[in-house]
Amino acid sequence: MSKIIFITGGVMSGIGKGVATASLGKILQSYGFSVSAMKIDPYVNVDAGTMNPTEHGEVFVTEDGLECDQDIGNYERFLNKNLHRVDYMTTGSIYQALIQKERNLEFGGKCVEVVPHVPEEVISRIQKSQRINKADIMLVEIGGTIGEYQNLLFLEAARILRQRHLHYPKDVLFVMVSYLPIPAMIGEMKTKPTQYAVRSLNSAGIQPDIILARSALPLDKVRKQKLSFALNLHEEDIISAPDIKSIYEVPVNFEKDQLGAIVLRKLGLKKKETDLKDWKRLVKTIQRPSKQPVKIGVVGKYFASGSFSLADSYISVIESLKHASWFHGREPVLSWLDVEKYEKRPTLLKELKEYDGIVVPGGFGTRGVEGKIRVIEYCRRAKIPYFGLCYGMQLAVVEFARHVAKMDRAHTEEINPKTPYPVIHILPEQEKLLSSKNYGGSMRLGLYDCAIKDGTIAKRSYKTARIKERHRHRYEVNSKFLPRLEKRGLIVSGINPQRKLVEIIELRDHPFFVGVQFHPEFLSRPLNPHPLFREFIRAAIKTKK
């Protein structure tokens, strides 16, 4: 069975627990161990699919179609590994399963209680993930902050697991990612909040083995001594984790304090190899890109409001653009363009010329739609490289229908069900789901096949005739209108062979105009950028010249 490392967070949220978890995984991989990662979210939502991106950040989709937290995306990108349903749970999913079992009389008439039944259900999920992944080491990130009411039952599950391994103390470890503030009026790094956070964890019956000390600056010797004394830890078990420019530097930074060696020693493992070379090379490119920057505009509407910013709402898109830019040795300069301003003041569209490429990512609903269509029209006419993802593809078809194929008032049924030209219409199976208000986890989700047409940008990018990509949508291109659209020059370069659904469209006589029904951003990896993002950035660089 894999060894388990629980990762908890202290003091406050938003300090990069997910990236710290992913980075620890990367380091352990580089020493020759297989690593899996699991995220526990304390929400009552059964999955992340019903949460607005401005509330919770991007909804990530696994290849088996689970809508989950963006941290799963971080794990996938760092570990270069596909994760699955078994690697994610929420409070809602735990209760849903328990209540279902109770309804099915699976408790044999017993009284079902919060303790032990909730922690036991959590443990059984962890063990299931362990069995399926068969990794040497399994990371389990417990969402939320220590001291919160909502993650207590997950901590209890972790404590019980450790208790069951009392004779094997090297099989279960606890890492706490904490924060040391440097208040401006004091100008000194303070350890007290971390001390209290560890005490709170202690009161849940858990002693951390390692502290990852996040702060604006590196931790000094005095702070390490102080924490070591107060927390019953060796100084070396307190790892300095200062702010850095790019998340991809985190593993390299952790290694400065020998995190990998310390964790392996605690787990009773000996390193098999050391291979962080390619990763370190990437970090060098990030720190010192050799060539001119490439300027990309991301047009969206999920802007800062609530606790998450635009960067969180579109994190996989943004990371994919970065991976592709670094591949070409360029620094990515990304701007967030609020689509609603182009609706209010179309004269502003001219500013799109300042960008080497424009992306319209996925989205839902009416707000901002006409602005997106204007942006797409502008990119098409001004020959600015354009990459449309999901909604960005559907609206490109709407734009083409309206302005090139002369289908006046063409639209997607999502916005105007009465349009004379429903060029984007609802998937038949989705109609029933919507009318019965069955919204959760019911879209066309996860991996589907796509056959690529020869002689297209898609073929040039993928260099293969068959691909699989991840989806999350209810609407699709209406094949009834395809002959008319194709006659006017729309190219369908990717099609789902089983159901004949349009997956990729593109235009000729344009440096790069591509729309995809799927979400390529979920498959891009730092050392292996997604082919379409790679070619989009290549076109952007070329246009710039």
For ligand GLN (CB under 6 A), the number of binding residues is 11
In whole angstroms, how close is the CB of 308 to ligand GLN at the nearest point? 17
Rg (the chain; Cα; Å): 25
**CA-to-CA distance for 434 and 444, rounded, in angstroms?**
13
**CA-to-CA distance for 508 and 491, rounded, in angstroms?**
8
Name which of 75 and 475 has its Cβ closer to ligand GLN. 475
Amino acid, single-letter form, for residue 476: E
In whole angstroms, how close is the CB of 423 to ligand GLN at the nearest point? 13
Site string for ligand GLN, 150-189 (x = CB under 6 A): ----------------------------------------
According to DSSP, residue 206 is labeled: -
**CA-to-CA distance for 254 and 240, rounded, in angstroms?**
7
Contacts of 149 (CB under 8 A, 6+ apart): none
- Name residues contacting ligand GLN, limited to 463-492 (CB under 6 A): 472-475
In whole angstroms, how close is the CB of 358 to ligand GLN at the nearest point? 16
Name which of 331 and 503 has its Cβ closer to ligand GLN. 503
Q: Which two tokens stand for residue 496?
A: 């789902």
Q: Are 83 and 64 in contact (CB under 8 A)?
A: no
Stretch that binds ligand GLN, among 31-39, 160-168, 256-264, 387-395 (CB under 6 A): 387-395
Q: Is 506 a catalytic residue?
A: no
The residue within the footprint of ligand GLN, chosen from 414, 503, 506, 521 (CB under 6 A), is 414
Write out the E strands in 3-152.
3-9, 35-41, 60-61, 67-68, 88-90, 137-142
Contacts of 341 (CB under 8 A, 6+ apart): 348, 371
**Cα–Cα nearest to 394, from 382, 383, 416:** 416
Q: Are 471 and 519 in contact (CB under 8 A)?
A: yes
The residue within the footprint of ligand GLN, chosen from 391, 481, 518, 522 (CB under 6 A), is 391
In sequence order, which ranges of 288-368 are alpha helices (DSSP H)? 310-313, 315-327, 339-344
Catalytic residue, from 377, 521, 530, 535: name it: 521
Q: Is 188 a catalytic residue?
A: no
In whole angstroms, how close is the CB of 291 to ligand GLN at the nearest point? 32
Q: Is 519 a catalytic residue?
A: yes
Residue entry with tokens 């990130």: 141
- Is 503 near ligand GLN (CB under 6 A)? no
In whole angstroms, how close is the CB of 320 to ligand GLN at the nearest point? 15
Bridge partners of residue 211, in order along the sequence: 176, 238
Name which of 117 and 472 has its Cβ closer to ligand GLN. 472
**CA-to-CA distance for 376 and 356, rounded, in angstroms?**
14
Q: Which two tokens stand for residue 337?
A: 């363009």
Contacts of 529 (CB under 8 A, 6+ apart): 320, 323, 324, 326, 327
Name which of 209 and 506 has its Cβ closer to ligand GLN. 506
Termini Cα distance of the chain: 55
Catalytic residue, from 473, 519, 530, 535: name it: 519
In whole angstroms, how close is the CB of 62 to ligand GLN at the nearest point? 15
- Name residues contacting ligand GLN, limited to 342-381 (CB under 6 A): 362-364
- Name residues contacting ligand GLN, limited to 96-155 (CB under 6 A): none
Name which of 215 and 394 has its Cβ closer to ligand GLN. 394
Residue nearest to ligand GLN (CB): 362
Name which of 209 and 476 has its Cβ closer to ligand GLN. 476
Residues making contact with ligand GLN (CB under 6 A)? 362-364, 390-391, 394, 414, 472-475
User: Catalytic positions, please?
Assistant: 390, 519, 521
